[in-house]
Amino acid sequence: MAVWIIEDKCTGCGLCAKTCPYGAIAIEDKLAHVNERCTECGACLAACKFEALASDLEQEPLPDLSGYRGVWVFAEVQDGALAQVSLELLGEGARLAADLGQDLCAVLLGHGVAGLAADLAAFGATRVFLADDPGLVEYSTLAYARVLAELVRAHAPAVLLMGATPLGRDLAPRLSRRLDLGLTADCTGLAIDQETGNLLQTRPAFGGNVMATIVTPRVRPQMATVRPGVMGLPTRRAGTPAVVVRHPVVLEANDGLVRLLARQARTSQAVDLSQARVIVAGGRGCRGAGGFALLAELAQALGGELGGTRVAMEEGWISPERQIGQTGLTVRPELYLACGISGAIQHRAGCLGARYIVAVNRDRRAPIFQVADYAIAGDLFKVVPALMEALKGVD
């Protein structure tokens, strides 16, 4: 056990047990006991007023990580172009690199993709690590993990960021396991701790009820994924070309064990809410398909798309690709019109990037009003038709 109790200091006060998020401490006979649920998170150590807890980790000196330098962004290629999330991460990465006083670099894997290095430079990368090989023409878990791991071992970056896309969600955990690193998935905020230089990785935790900031002080690179749309898109600038560092690719037979057999285009009409300028979203307050039909009319009148809460998705009033929030999409429209939505933290996580939030709710204390730029306290079945009526006179 890496966390233990110093018995002659423990008073059995129970503060540590109350603080432990995993229920890993029990008080028996006026003494704290740590059980197998302990994850060594260290929360109890900070809570104990009597210094009656200790851990292995606390006593181990921090390793010298000064040789790890640079903020890397994995440049995901989708249909021959850079994925938008990679560009968003370059914008965020540039800020982190400036705070660290280090370079912003991109890692580009594929075949015939060298031309994309210019795009990466235009979005801030000063150096592009390029692995161009016929074996990388299609994404393959093992081949990509091998090449990326080789690059990380050879060049030792301090930070590695990836998009939380289907590809990123497959590749990032594979790489972190291969290199024995930590990985913080679905971050909503990234910053540099000025004192230690550690990456502060913020994400919702415990069902979205708290925002946790995670640090990885003992290993490098610090790996994090971010969902598309969470960070803003930086402006493209014409500037200095990036230095391209070519990496020789040598794949092994086993790297081809997972192969792409075929691609099948989605047959249903796909919607992409991440690009919508206006979203009219509904929740339980819409009461059913009828309420959503009303919102769809408003969305059409505003040239926007229909979205909704998880409740609306679970009830079958909207399709899953229209769910907004922590387990749905993150959107950044100009206008987000929330109708009959309470504004639970898990929903707000997906819409806070909107330029304007307008909320319609009949409960004046609804949490959505705390984040709304304009609040309409009223019954949506009266407010929405009134809005449509008012729109009739507008071009």
Ligand X SMILES: Cc1cc2nc3c(=O)[nH]c(=O)nc-3n(C[C@H](O)[C@H](O)[C@H](O)COP(=O)(O)OP(=O)(O)OC[C@H]3O[C@@H](n4cnc5c(N)ncnc54)[C@H](O)[C@@H]3O)c2cc1C
Which value, in Å, is the radius of gyration of the alpha carbons in the chain? 25
Among 277, 363, 370, 374, binds ligand X (CB under 6 A): 363
The tally of CA atoms less than 13 A away on the side-chain side of residue 76 is 26
- Residue 214 beta carbon to ligand X: minimum distance, rounded to whole angstroms: 17
372 touches ligand X by CB under 6 A: no
Please state the φ and ψ torsions of residue 16, each to the nearest 5 degrees.
-65, -40
Q: Is the dihedral of CA 368, 374, 378, 381 positive or negative?
A: negative
Coil, strand or helix: which one is 266?
A: coil
- Residue 310 beta carbon to ligand X: minimum distance, rounded to whole angstroms: 3
Strand (E) or helix (H) holding 53? strand 53-55
Between residues 95 and 362, which has the closer beta carbon with respect to ligand X?
A: 362
Q: Are 338 and 368 in contact (CB under 8 A)?
A: yes
Between residues 214 and 281, which has the closer beta carbon with respect to ligand X?
A: 281
The contact mask relative to ligand X for 242-281 (x = CB under 6 A, - = no) is: ----------------------------------------
148 touches ligand X by CB under 6 A: no
- Residue 354 beta carbon to ligand X: minimum distance, rounded to whole angstroms: 14
285 touches ligand X by CB under 6 A: yes
188 touches ligand X by CB under 6 A: no
- Residue 288 beta carbon to ligand X: minimum distance, rounded to whole angstroms: 11
Between residues 146 and 227, which has the closer beta carbon with respect to ligand X?
A: 227
Q: How many residues bind ligand X (CB under 6 A)?
A: 29
- Residue 25 beta carbon to ligand X: minimum distance, rounded to whole angstroms: 25
Between residues 38 and 376, which has the closer beta carbon with respect to ligand X?
A: 376
Non-local CB neighbours of 323 within 8 Å, separated by 6+ positions: 307, 308, 309, 310, 312, 313, 329
- The Cα–Cα gap between 157 and 67 comes to 9
Between residues 252 and 379, which has the closer beta carbon with respect to ligand X?
A: 379
Copy the structure tokens of residue 232: 């803003």
346 touches ligand X by CB under 6 A: yes
Between residues 214 and 311, which has the closer beta carbon with respect to ligand X?
A: 311
Among 105, 278, 311, 387, binds ligand X (CB under 6 A): 311
- Residue 333 beta carbon to ligand X: minimum distance, rounded to whole angstroms: 16
341 touches ligand X by CB under 6 A: yes
Please state the φ and ψ torsions of residue 343, each to the nearest 5 degrees.
95, 40
Q: Cβ-count burial of 209 within 10 angstroms (0-12 exposed, 13-18 middle, 19+ buried)?
A: exposed
- Residue 78 beta carbon to ligand X: minimum distance, rounded to whole angstroms: 23
Q: How many CB atoms lie within 10 A of CB 4?
A: 15
176 touches ligand X by CB under 6 A: no
Considering only the stretches 20-28, 94-102, 129-137, 362-370, report the one whose residues sit in contact with ligand X under the rule CB under 6 A. 362-370
- The Cα–Cα gap between 305 and 113 comes to 34
- The Cα–Cα gap between 111 and 131 comes to 8
Among 208, 353, 371, 388, binds ligand X (CB under 6 A): 208
Considering only the stretches 1-9, 143-151, 268-276, 325-333, report the one whose residues sit in contact with ligand X under the rule CB under 6 A. 325-333
Among 360, 369, 372, 387, binds ligand X (CB under 6 A): 360
- The Cα–Cα gap between 358 and 225 comes to 30
Helices (H), the chain: 15-19, 43-47, 56-59, 84-100, 116-122, 141-155, 166-179, 289-301, 310-314, 345-351, 368-371, 380-392
Considering only the stretches 34-42, 141-149, 293-301, 360-368, report the one whose residues sit in contact with ligand X under the rule CB under 6 A. 360-368
- The Cα–Cα gap between 332 and 323 comes to 14
Copy the structure tokens of residue 75: 């440049």
348 touches ligand X by CB under 6 A: no
Q: Which residues pair with 54 in a beta bridge?
A: 4
Considering only the stretches 37-45, 47-55, 156-164, 304-312, report the one whose residues sit in contact with ligand X under the rule CB under 6 A. 304-312
347 touches ligand X by CB under 6 A: yes
Copy the structure tokens of residue 163: 């998009």
- The Cα–Cα gap between 298 and 383 comes to 11
Among 110, 168, 283, 304, binds ligand X (CB under 6 A): 283
Where do contacts with ligand X occur on this chain (CB under 6 A)? 207-208, 283-285, 309-312, 323, 325-328, 340-342, 344, 346-347, 350, 360-363, 366, 379-381
